[in-house]
Structure 1
Amino acid sequence: MTITPTVTPAPAPTPSATPTPTPTPTPTQEAALIPNPAVPDLVPNAEPVPLPQGPAADLGSTPGARGTPTADGAGALLSYTVVAGDAFFDIAQRFNIPVQLLLTMNPSVPGVGENIYIKQIINLDWTTTR
Structure 2
Amino acid sequence: MRSVVLPAMLIGGLALAGCSAAPAPVVTATVVVTQTPTPTPTPTPTPTVPPAAVVEDPSLVPNAEVPAEPIPEGPAVDLGAIPGAEAAPVKDDAGNLISYTVIEGDSFFDIAQRFDLPMQQLLRMNPKVSGLGENIYLRQVINLDWTTTG
Question: So what's the TM-score if we normalise by structure 2?
Answer: 0.58
The alignment partner of 1:92 has SS state of helix
- Which residue is 2:111 aligned to? 91
- Which residue is 2:74 aligned to? 54
2:85 to 65, 69, 74: 65
Could you list the runs of 5+ residues in structure 1 that have no partner in the other structure? 1-28
- Which residue is 1:113 aligned to? 133
Could you list the runs of 5+ residues in structure 2 that have no partner in the other structure? 1-51
Shift of 1:49: 3.0
Match of 1:87, as an amino acid?
A: S
Q: Within 5 Å, give how 1:3-14 maps onto structure 2.
A: none
Shift of 1:39: 3.8
Shift of 1:34: 1.6
- Which residue is 1:35 aligned to? 56
Distance 1:106 1:92 in 2: 11
Deviations 1:36-83 (A, max 9, x none): 223456544x66332000010011101100011111122111110111
Question: So what's the TM-score if we normalise by structure 1?
Answer: 0.66
The alignment partner of 2:132 has SS state of coil
Shift of 1:115: 1.4
Identity %: 55
Count of paired positions: 98
The alignment partner of 1:79 has SS state of strand
Match of 1:92, as an amino acid?
A: A
Distance 2:83 2:113 in 1: 11
Distance 2:91 2:60 in 1: 48
Deviations 1:81-108 (A, max 9, x none): 1111100100000001111111111011
Distance 2:79 2:56 in 1: 48
Q: 4+ runs of 1 displaced by more than 4 Å?
A: none
- Which residue is 2:13 aligned to? none
The alignment partner of 2:147 has SS state of helix
CA-based RMSD of the aligned residues comes to 2.1
Distance 1:97 1:128 in 2: 15
